[in-house]
Structure 1
């Protein structure tokens, strides 16, 4: 095999920028989720919650994070099943889990202005991370279904 043929074959196997970026956004979402989990667990420990009470939730989050990393890497490699799994599980249900509580609070008459006025540093850091987390997920899902991504998954 010539060097040019090998280079073309490698180039054809490389994901297009939209898929690479989608995978990086999924990994970013995992990082934001882990950061939020650390903030929550730290806060609960500070308030006196026993460590054993936190283990099931922490274990579940760890499993979700590991699964998301695995799927993001498979996505980058061209696995169409990983794209659909990410879109359905984390893109739909994961996003709902991130926004349902704030949405319910707003629908019950909560005010963003009042929340910001009464928020401490940790609440603002958490809210900023959560906003970036949701944006990373929405961006990843959008990019995964762009025309160049569709072509990549058809050819993989």
Structure 2
């Protein structure tokens, strides 16, 4: 005699990641997209202020490397790689988040005023700020989702 519990355990398990892992990967990709957008804005502003392309190449090259690594890690994480999940959490979840907030925090600590900044902001500054907030939100959301109970169980079984 087969019980309902026995029938449930015989059902094929889904082969893909649980929704929280899939959502985390999409948030990482969104964070990369925001970072690319911010880079384009920053490079455009620097060029309009007279910087040379040669001067901007090292910074842009580093960003391209980080963005590429983030995409590859997010895809590996979505595929079940726990080392990719941990690498994303430590490198971009911790150090990446710090890199996003240290400048604004220092600016505030040195007497910067949000009201004055908002009053003097042009369209590019507003676009950058909105993108940075979305970027930070995507990173924090991705890290949170990657360590939800369903995600933890899936990574243990993967």
TM range (shorter): over 0.9
Unaligned runs of 5+ in 1: 1-6
Matches within 5 A, 1:25-104: 25-104=27-106
Aligned residues: 148
CA distance, structure 2, for counterparts of residue 137 and residue 19 of structure 1: 13
Distance of 1:104 and 1:51 partners within structure 2: 28
User: Which is higher, the Rg of structure 1 or of structure 2?
Assistant: 2
Which residue number corresponds to residue 118 of structure 1? 120
Alpha-carbon distance, 1:101 to partner: 0.5
Q: Secondary structure in 2 aligned to 1:8?
A: coil
Partner of 1:23: 25
- When normalised by structure 2's length, the TM-score is 0.91
Find the aligned partners of 1:137 and 1:131 in 2 and give their Cα distance.
Answer: 10
Offset, 1:112: 1.1
Deviation of the 1:113 alpha carbon: 1.2
4+ residue segments displaced more than 6 Å: none
Partner of 2:6: none
RMSD: 1.0
Query: After superposition, what is the alpha-carbon deviation per residue over 1:87-130, rounded to whole angstroms, capped at 9, x for unaligned?
Result: 00000001100100101111222221111111111101100000
1:8 is matched with: 12
Whole-angstrom distance in 2 between the partners of 1:114 and 1:52: 33
Q: Distance in 2 between matches of 1:31 and 1:147?
A: 27
In structure 2, how many angstroms separate the alpha carbons of the residues matched to 1:106 and 1:17?
Answer: 38
Match of 1:138 in 2: 140
